[in-house]
Amino acid sequence: MKLSSIKPSPFKSVILPLTAITAGSFWISLKLFDIAFKRVDYVPETSKEKQQYADQYYEYVDWFHKMPSEEWYLNRDDPDKKMVATYIPAEGIAKKTVIIAHGYKGNRETMANYAQMFHNMGYNVLTPDDRGHGDSAGKYISFGWLDRLDYLKWIDQVIDHVGEDSKILLFGVSMGGATVEMLSGERLPTQVKAIIADCGYSSIKEELTYLLKKQYHLPEYPVEPMVSEINKRAAGFGLDSASSMKQLEKNTRPILFIHGGKDTYVPSYMAYENYQATHAPKQIWIVPNATHAESFWYDPVAYKRRVQEFLRTYF
């Protein structure tokens, strides 16, 4: 057959644009992965809604740094795996300890207000820097999924330090809320008595898909699967596996869900999804006028009262 007799493929004009589209989608996915998953060594500016609380925030931070404290470590001698935390002992001998998980691109310092609240309630306080945050190692942010494994080790350290008769509360906000939710499905020591999750997402996949549409006006497909595959190669897990809801289905600890009713970053319907997935004793508190991670700041007195009510019942 002569080459001149071969008719041009009717799909040629389609294949080239499709190839360009695929390449474009991959480029966008790679950029989004860099933005969302790569560590940054600074705390980004907070939302406009929470900037009004800046003076109060820095008063809490000053308190945090002035308090007598200890630095705790995981993998201290391995710079590629070293995790760092601040431990603030209660005044006097206390057997109850709260482990506080921080939010996305935050660090242990950014949880100073919650640390003070629990310290004033008589708790020892442990506030870690998660992977890819603060003084801890890590090239990538795992949105709580790999962090949950580190928190199992932090729990063991608390028990070793405080004693076998420890009573441990897990507490987290935003990504930290999802972290303790994801942690809830693991085999926890009996010393872990309760969990409080403030504005945690139902899964990394659902949160990413929501933000793709809201912030970037992009569809779930093909971007989310591409980002998931990139993360699988970089950090070792696909986004499908990282679900608060699936972990909460296995949870046996009492849990309080807190969420701002005007949260547009992690929408409040995710709190209800997490609540419905939970079979353990559970409570939910939606703060009607609070935006993302604003529930404490909106009314600190009401926040502390609601937390104490839950702890009186279940801790």
Report pLDDT for 40: 87
Quote the pTM value: 0.92
Per-residue model confidence (pLDDT) at position 246: 98
Q: CA-CA distances (angstroms) from residue 63 to 108, 111, 116, 314? A: 13, 11, 8, 29
Alpha carbons 107 and 34: distance in angstroms, whole number? 19
d(CA 129, CA 88) in angstroms, rounded, equals 14
Give 292's contacts (C-beta < 8 A, 6+ positions apart): 47, 49, 174, 199, 260, 263, 264, 265, 266
Both tokens assigned to 234: 């970089």
Amino acid identity for residue 175 in this structure: M
User: Where exactly are the structural domains of the chain?
Assistant: 53-203+242-314
pLDDT in the model for residue 6: 38
Tokens read off for 137: 């190692």
Confidence (pLDDT) at 19: 62
pLDDT for residue 183? 98
Q: How far apart are CA 90 and CA 125, in angstroms?
A: 7
Tell the CATH topology of 53-203+242-314. Answer: Rossmann fold (3.40.50)
Residues 6+ apart with CB under 8 A from 285: 256, 257, 258, 259, 306
Q: Tokens 């921080």 identify what position?
A: 102
Q: How far apart are CA 207 and CA 199, in angstroms?
A: 12
Strand order in the sheet with 282-287: 70-74, 83-88, 124-128, 96-101, 167-173, 192-198, 255-260, 282-287
Amino acid present at 177: G
Residues of the chain where predicted confidence (pLDDT) is lower than 70: 1-21
Both tokens of residue 149?
A: 């494994």
pLDDT of residue 4: 38
C-alpha distances in Å from residue 224, one per residue of 1, 6, 95, 221, 296:
46, 40, 44, 6, 32
Phi, psi for residue 169 in degrees, rounded to 5: -110, 135
CB atoms within 10 A of CB 35: 10
Separation CA 302–CA 275 (nearest Å):
21
- pLDDT value at position 49? 80
Report strand pairing: 124-128 vs 83-88.
antiparallel
* Closest C-alpha among 155, 173, 109 to residue 307: 173
Separation between Cα atoms, residue 154 and residue 127, nearest integer Å:
10
Using CB atoms within 10 A of its CB, is residue 301 exposed (0-12), middle (13-18) or buried (19+)?
Answer: exposed
Tokens for 64, please give them.
């945090």
Token representation of residue 274: 């997490």
